[in-house]
Structure 1
Amino acid sequence: MAALTNVTPETVLARYATDIGFVAEEWPATSLAELAEQLRVAAEHLAGAGIQGTEDLDTASACLAAAETPDLTARSVFLHRAARHLAGATEMVDDYRLML
């Protein structure tokens, strides 16, 4: 997957909320806080299925939680960090779907 270049809360949600919601067995997140929580749950489910790389989802979750700040510079930094850690999320979810 190509990295997101213009990373905003909306682009992160649009790119990952549906897949992460599927693994977390929830409706797709509509906020960064919801997505951060679903990432923690999804990481547990994926790790339980033996899928590698789930620590990146935990790190992305922490970055998204930190992005909930009024400081726009800090928000941008944390969103970009989250996006980097989410780069393999689609592949992990695809592997999970194949296991079901």
Structure 2
Amino acid sequence: MTTDTLTIPTLIAQHAEDLAFVTEAETATTLEEFTSQLHTAEDTLVSVGIYMAEGLSDAAALLDQANTGTDGEKHLFLTRAAAQLAHLDDAIDEYRDMV
């Protein structure tokens, strides 16, 4: 993902559907829904031994900071949130194999 396309909506679009599978909720369309599901998913995934999901709550906090930060801060927070979310697909794939 390039810095031109690294936005809150693109991160939500990239991960929301799979995240909804883990949280058994409707696909998130807002930042508030998405961050809530990140917290829930971290609890769920870690509770079944998928420790690569640790840090999803950190990603949620970084996305909240990006949403309210200055333009210079937004890029930093988005980059850090994207790094925290980098292994989310792998964690969810592992979860799918378990259920």
TM-score, structure 2 length as denominator?
0.89
The residue type equivalent to 1:91 in the other structure is: D
Aligned equivalent of 1:41? 40
Distance between the aligned counterparts of 2:96 and 2:73, measured in 1? 34
Query: 1:41-94 CA distances to partner (integer Å, 9 max, x unpaired)?
Result: 000000111112222212111111212215222222211111011000000000
Work out whether residues 67 and 76 of structure 1, in 8 Å CA contact, stay in contact via their aligned partners in 2: yes
Higher mean alpha-carbon deviation, 62-71 vs 85-94, is at 62-71
The number of residues matched between the two structures is: 97
Aligned equivalent of 1:23? 22
Runs of 5+ consecutive residues of structure 2 not aligned to the other structure? none
The residue type equivalent to 2:38 in the other structure is: L
Aligned equivalent of 1:95? 94
Distance between the aligned counterparts of 1:92 and 1:16, measured in 2? 12
Distance between the aligned counterparts of 1:67 and 1:30, measured in 2? 17
How high is the sequence identity, in percent, across the aligned residues?
38
Work out whether residues 33 and 64 of structure 1, in 8 Å CA contact, stay in contact via their aligned partners in 2: no
Distance between the aligned counterparts of 2:90 and 2:23, measured in 1? 15
Matches within 5 A, 1:1-100: 4-5=1-2, 6-69=5-68, 71-100=70-99
Distance between the aligned counterparts of 1:89 and 1:23, measured in 2? 11
The residue type equivalent to 2:15 in the other structure is: Y
Distance between the aligned counterparts of 1:52 and 1:70, measured in 2? 29
Distance between the aligned counterparts of 2:69 and 2:63, measured in 1? 13
The residue type equivalent to 1:18 in the other structure is: E
The residue type equivalent to 2:51 in the other structure is: Q
